[in-house]
Structure 1
Amino acid sequence: MNAYKMKTELFFGFRAVEHLSEMPYRNLLIITDGFLESSGALAKLVQHLPAGARYETYSNVRPDPSQELVDEGAAVLTRVRPDLLVAFGGGSCIDAAKAMLLSACEGGMERPYFLAVPTTAGTGSEVTNFAVVTRGSDKVVLIDDFLAPDGALLEADFTRTVPPAVTADTGMDVLTHALEAYVSSTATSFTDAMAVKALRIVCTDLPAAFRDGMAMRSRTRMIEASCIAGIAFTNAGLGINHSLAHALGGRFHVAHGRLNAVLLPYVIRFHLGRSDCREAYERLAVELGMADADELLTRICALRADLGIENSLSELGCIDAARFEAELSAIAEAAQHDRCTPTNPCAVSKQDLVNILRDAFAGR
């Protein structure tokens, strides 16, 4: 039996942020990061809080949130005991808020209404039951329906000042989410429809948003595509592209979307060489108006180049060759046991993952 779940309420479209003032809550905790607090973006959000509401801000979130940060935030949550928890930021911020909420509620706190307000068009974390937390050198994937926010507010204006490189990274993360959801071993007709819609938007609107940060129609469509892809992969799962990115990211601290983008052609080539995987890519290519899976791969590589994304892991400049080779076995093993691997379109061995990583490092 298959199932399709959608827990999160969506608020989107023109001036979506105004919905915040209509919410019936009075004791708020906003989880965000220092940049959004200092840049004035948080002040814009606060303008729309419900009349008479009091709020506190926890703004210590950093990229790749650690377990220590989660514990610190959970203590703040337990002290404040809000009736509305707002996660305002990118994927790291929303993931951190999810893990903090889970920890606080396991400690006996009553769950508040949880609203996610993304400021990047990438992770889809505002609608997923996934969160990623760094423990030591490993990125640990949490998957639990409890983690899914109760509401998601998609206000494209908050993405207006995102730098082009971040727009590229997060946009390619959307593409990877949608593509992996489509070829997943547990994909359904419903998740396929969501994945294809997200991919069509990315192919059209990501280049426009990358070239012009003020292209608000494209930014609006991208934040919606991110959410759509998030719904798709929450129901269908992901695959080894994300597993490898998690394993690498925990060790080398490269932006998650950038790692996904660099790895993607190598992962696709591996799958196209497998008779039990190629058919799904062929179907996806036809859905997107392309001749075959080979054209799909060519188009993805061209998009990646247009966005200024490196062709290999070695070109990133922060992954030392000697350390990479020394840790290669551990990276592959971590990826093999990652919670995204079981829904890959085919089973993979540790050696398969080593081979993909070596190809991605060398750019071959």
Structure 2
Amino acid sequence: MKRFNLSTEIYYESNSIEKLKDIKGKKVYIVTDELMVKLGNIAKITYILDDKGIDWCIFDKVIPDPTVNIINEGLFNMIEFKPDTIVAIGGGSSIDTAKGILYFYLKVVERLVDEDNINKPLFIAIPTTSGTGSEVTSYSVVTDEVNDTKIPIISDGMTPDIAIIDWQFIKTVPPSVTADTGLDVLTHAIEAYVAKESSDYTDIYAEKSIEHVFRYLLRAYNNGEDGEAREKMHNASCMAGVAFTHAGLGINHSLAHALGARFHIPHGRANALLLPYIIEYNSGINEDRESKIAERYSEISRVLGFPHSSIKEGVISLIEGIKILKEKMNIPSTLSEMDIEENEFRQAIDDIVEKAMKDACTSSNPRNVRKEDLKLILEKAYKN
């Protein structure tokens, strides 16, 4: 028996931030970064809270690839403030930080009171990039800076209760970030479409997300003021999040987590760089085998209107379509183009593979993998 549950209320379109006026709580803990404060985005929230007479506290120390130490600091502040509502605003790092804080907060509370009496704070997520889909998922990724490891945490208790998908917060996102985060959306949706737990229900969200990326990402990249493109990409990110939180991801993310932690590559860029190589491997098109996995990739080409007269042609069309999209947004196609020294790469490859094999995303990859397979993928991704 499988389960599909949409537990997050989603509010979208311009000015959906007005949903905050419906908050019933009395104490709001805001998790964000310093840039959101400087851009004035936090003021849009606190203005509403002040007007309602709601007490609030800001934790604005979020950093890219949130660390265990940052989450602990936010946790201690939250325990002291004792909020009934959490508002996370920012990119995936802010939302993931809030999730990590909430996860450990509930663990602490469980030790102090009877579990049946725990009042979980209302969790509201407001994404300011169109990328992670974290506003509707039960996933969070935390960085262990001591061991250079990204640790995925999965818990239904971290899923936001409300997601506010207001594109007004993303119109100032620079082109390079638009590209990285948009290709992260594409990776989420494609991996969800072929993952072991994919279904008719997840396919609907994954397909629409993929269509939106190919139709609107380049427009948003070229013109940040294109409201339609921004809104559609924001929706695509959320839809991809719904898809992968139910279907799972795969080795694209496992390797991106390990690569990103080791070489400090932005997560979306690491995903984008690896995606063509992962599709080639999972589909097996260069191994004289046409698998059910290859059929799934080819089906994406059919949905997009790419050439797909045979399964192999469909897979190749998808790979080439992704490469062209990346090229138009100046995304590197190999790790060597990112100024990673070959000696440094060689020294790191075994550790990267080891960590990727242990990553939670690997178990839902459509094709079972061995360490040797991941090494070959990385070798190709380094020099092509």
* TM-score category of the 2 structures, normalised to the smaller one: over 0.9
Alignment-derived partner of residue 298 in structure 1: 320
Q: Paired residue for 2:302, among 281, 286, 292?
A: 286
TM-score w.r.t. the length of structure 1 is 0.97
Q: Which has the higher helix share?
A: 2
Within 5 Å, give how 1:189-208 maps onto structure 2.
189-208=200-219
In 1, distance between residues paired with 2:17 and 2:171? 14
Alignment-derived partner of residue 113 in structure 1: 122
Q: How far apart are residue 39 of structure 1 and its match?
A: 2.1
**Does structure 2 conserve the Cα–Cα contact (< 8 Å) formed by 1:85 and 1:112?**
yes
Q: How far apart are residue 145 of structure 1 and its match?
A: 0.8
Moved more, 285-294 or 129-138: 285-294
Whether 2:367 is the aligned partner of 1:346: answer yes
In 1, distance between residues paired with 2:39 and 2:11? 24
In 1, distance between residues paired with 2:127 and 2:275? 24
Alignment-derived partner of residue 60 in structure 2: 59
Within 5 Å, give how 1:309-328 maps onto structure 2.
309-317=331-339, 319-328=340-349
Q: Paired residue for 2:276, among 232, 244, 265?
A: 265
Q: How far apart are residue 26 of structure 1 and its match?
A: 2.0
In 1, distance between residues paired with 2:304 and 2:3? 25
Structure 2: which amino acid aligns with 1:322? N
Q: How far apart are residue 195 of structure 1 and its match?
A: 0.3
Within 5 Å, give how 1:152-167 maps onto structure 2.
152-167=163-178
Alignment-derived partner of residue 3 in structure 2: 3
Q: What percentage of residue pairs aligned between the two structures are identical? A: 41
Moved more, 106-115 or 250-259: 106-115
Within 5 Å, give how 1:221-300 maps onto structure 2.
221-273=232-284, 275-276=290-291, 277-290=293-306, 291=308, 292-300=314-322
Stretches of 4+ aligned residues off by more than 4 angstroms: none
Structure 2: which amino acid aligns with 1:130? Y
Q: Secondary structure at the match of 1:61?
A: coil
Q: How far apart are residue 288 of structure 1 and its match?
A: 2.2
Moved more, 148-157 or 48-57: 48-57
Q: Secondary structure at the match of 2:135?
A: coil
In 2, distance between residues paired with 1:124 and 1:115? 13
In 2, distance between residues paired with 1:231 and 1:165? 25
In 1, distance between residues paired with 2:69 and 2:352? 23
Alignment-derived partner of residue 116 in structure 2: none
In 2, distance between residues paired with 1:285 and 1:217? 24
Q: Which ranges of structure 2 fall in alignment gaps of 5 or more residues?
A: 111-118, 309-313
Deviations 1:119-177 (A, max 9, x none): 00000000000000001300000011111111101111100111100000000000000
In 2, distance between residues paired with 1:76 and 1:108? 14
In 2, distance between residues paired with 1:233 and 1:104? 25
Q: Which ranges of structure 1 fall in alignment gaps of 5 or more residues?
A: none
Alignment-derived partner of residue 78 in structure 1: 79
Structure 1: which amino acid aligns with 2:381? A
In 2, distance between residues paired with 1:208 and 1:196? 19
Q: CA RMSD in A?
A: 1.1
Q: Secondary structure at the match of 2:131?
A: coil
Alignment-derived partner of residue 151 in structure 1: 162
In 1, distance between residues paired with 2:123 and 2:32? 14
Q: How far apart are residue 275 of structure 1 and its match?
A: 3.4
Whether 2:95 is the aligned partner of 1:94: answer yes
The total of aligned residue pairs comes to 362
In 2, distance between residues paired with 1:120 and 1:28? 22
In 2, distance between residues paired with 1:247 and 1:78? 32
In 2, distance between residues paired with 1:322 and 1:235? 39
Q: How far apart are residue 336 of structure 1 and its match?
A: 1.1
**Does structure 2 conserve the Cα–Cα contact (< 8 Å) formed by 1:332 and 1:354?**
yes
Structure 2: which amino acid aligns with 1:348? V
Q: Secondary structure at the match of 1:265?
A: helix
Alignment-derived partner of residue 358 in structure 1: 379
Q: How far apart are residue 46 of structure 1 and its match?
A: 2.2
Q: How far apart are residue 270 of structure 1 and its match?
A: 1.2
**Does structure 2 conserve the Cα–Cα contact (< 8 Å) formed by 1:17 and 1:48?**
no
